[in-house]
Amino acid sequence: MPNDNAMPLPSSNKLSKKIGYLLGFATLVILFIYIGQNHVQGESFGWLSILPTCVVLGIAFTTHRSAEPLVIGTVAGLIMLNPGETVPGIVKVTQAVLVDPTIAWIILVCGLMGGLIALLETGGSIFNFSRVLLNKVKSKEQTMLITFCLGILIFIDDYLNALAISTSMKLLTDKYKISREKLAYLVDSTAAPVCILVPFSTWAVFFGSLLESNGIAESGQGLAIYIDAIPYMAYGWATLAVVFLVAIRKLPDLGPMKAAELRAQAGQPKPDGVDEIDLELVQDKQTSDLMGVINFLLPMIVLVIASWLYGIDLLAGVIVAITFTIALYWLQNILSITKMFDSMFKGFKVMLVPLATVIGGFMLKNVNDQLGLTQHVIDTIVPHISPAIFPAVIFLVLTAMVFATASIWGLFAVAMPIVFPVAIAIGTPMPIIIGALLSAAAAGSHSCFFSDSTVLSAQGSGCTPIQHARTQLPYTLIGIAITAIFFLIIA
């Protein structure tokens, strides 16, 4: 008699697919071992250094996963560096990334922002704020315009923009059957692209300091030089124009976004496969609409002001905002201290998945730095560019590099000492080249599926980074094309 409890055999299709994956994986391992064994220590890997990133992109867009391809790409790069030291290499890279002050800052900011948002959700503040908007907003176009306008108003930091706006607008976008992917696009398009256009943002502060350290601006004048270049930060302006046209429905849904919107119109705004990253938590207590709005807006205002007062430091700002929100809720008896801390711990936990992706991106960056990818591309291309196309090519090359590596701060710290002397030698006006560099930073960050702003926009909106990146890509390509044409004309 047949055994009903016997484990079913896998179908031939599934078995064939698994065998195909194994053969493909084995082929890649052999290829990277061969490259590693035949590489002479001390010599450049040349264009072979881009192979791990190609593996990451290929696997990511095939499997629609984000964290796993980054790990595989990191391992592939370590095999190239030294096949016999791959496992110790993984340990060293992981430790190097986790002790990096930048990563520590990102983990704390993202985790605490997740805790603050969970606290606002559990106390009903976000629900009440969204409910007030529900009563005021009467159409899909108005919903998208409000999302667009909120993104412009919260300009101080792209992390704050990505998480706060997406979380507060989900109830409204769901009502009007706007896909979570489009919400993520609206939010992400007003994050980094807006931050580069505002001199009072984390981006402006960082890049202003780079201008000073590279001798382009005197001490204390970096921000002034940055402001002069804002009119030439074409990607920011182009993206704002494109997303505005999308918000008022003058630009149609393109490519994968069209499929996402059709799914939303059929009654499913949230895509499949995102239950494990849902940020929505159960509200513990509802207040009046007025107090609900106040209880949402006050912590946001405190967060922005505190970040500004502490030198545009979002970590200091979110610590002050959490402390303020706890006191605000306690005075109103909205939540007990125990429930408030429980909700914050849940919010921190929810951020672990996107943080894993961001950390994976930094691990890949570490390996790419060891392979010399960024240095090779810049050294090979930059010195040989014609003056007439220099700004446009710099924009396109560095956009591609940020897209492939998600390295924004590190990449430009390497690129600026090479790009600026060439620009001065061929007579390219400094505001134009700074505009090209900042446009590339924003465009690459906006396009890359594992950049921090992309991951956080997807997390807050309720879709995966790959779902967000795929649906957003046609619109980012429009912005990139407009920007490249702009730099060709003004050069």
Alpha-carbon distance 453 to 166, whole Å? Answer: 12
How many CB atoms sit inside 10 A of residue 439's CB?
33
Q: Domain span at residue 66?
A: 18-96
The predicted pLDDT at position 278 comes to 46
Q: Is the residue at 80 inside a domain?
A: yes
Tell me, yes or no, whether 39 lies in a domain: yes
User: Is 89 among the domain residues?
Assistant: yes
Report if residue 325 sits inside a domain: no
Let me know if residue 166 belongs to a domain: no
Instruction: Give domain status of residue 34, yes or no.
Output: yes
Domain assignment present for residue 78? The answer is yes
Q: What are the pLDDT digits (tens) for 353-395?
A: 788 888 888 898 889 888 888 778 778 877 778 888 999 999 9
Q: What is the pTM of this model?
A: 0.79
Q: Does 35 reside within a domain?
A: yes
CA distance 194 to 158: 8
- How far from chain centre, in Å, is Cα 153? 19
Q: What is the pLDDT of residue 180?
A: 94
Nearest by Cα to 364 from 403, 328, 334:
403
What tens digit of pLDDT does each residue of 113-153 get?
889 988 988 888 887 887 888 788 888 999 999 999 888 88
Q: What percent of the chain has pLDDT over 90?
A: 29
The lowest-confidence range among 27-31, 213-217, 306-310, 475-479 is: 213-217
Confidence of residue 410 (pLDDT cuts 50, 70, 90): low
Which is more confidently placed, 31 or 213?
Answer: 31
The predicted structure's pLDDT at residue 489: 93
What is each CA distance from 340 to 33, 130, 329, 336, in whole angstroms?
51, 21, 9, 6
- Mean pLDDT estimate for the chain: 84
Residue 319 has pLDDT above 90, yes or no: yes
Name the domain count of the chain: 1
Task: State the sign of the Cα–Cα–Cα–Cα dihedral 466, 30, 407, 396.
Answer: negative
Q: Report the alpha-carbon distance of residue 282 to residue 280 in Å, rounded.
A: 7
Q: What is the pLDDT, as a whole number, of residue 185? A: 95
Q: Which of 134, 129, 187, 192 is nearest to 158 (CA)?
A: 192
Q: How far is CA 230 from the centre of its chain?
A: 22
